[in-house]
Amino acid sequence: MDSKVLQDIAEARGKTVAQVCIRWVYQAGATLAVKSYNKERLKQNLQVFDWELSEDDLHKINQIPQHKMVTREELVSADGPYKSLEEFWDGEI
């Protein structure tokens, strides 16, 4: 979340970087589970439904290089049902 792109979008919209990220996931139609024990942050996490990211914002965010925690390599195996990443997932959501 230290991306200059995310910081610029958040600043322009008067939102936090976390709100921009949550909204991006929401607009993509994906499911997201957020966690916080901070009451203010919990409120901020819910303040993502009364605004939208523009097509330009979405395009900029989609161009940010991803650093995935799970690479899916652990989901394929020569002995398992999926022998390659292509067999496991065709890239469509």
Task: Please report the DSSP string for 37-71 in residue order.
Answer: S-HHHHHHHHTTSS----HHHHHHHHTSPP--S--
Task: Identify the pLDDT of residue 2.
Answer: 83
DSSP structural state of residue 75: G
Task: Identify the pLDDT of residue 17.
Answer: 97
Residues of the chain with pLDDT under 70: 1, 68-72, 93
Task: Identify the pLDDT of residue 93.
Answer: 62
Task: Identify the pLDDT of residue 58.
Answer: 97
CA distance 48 to 76: 36
Task: Identify the pLDDT of residue 69.
Answer: 67
Task: Identify the pLDDT of residue 7.
Answer: 98
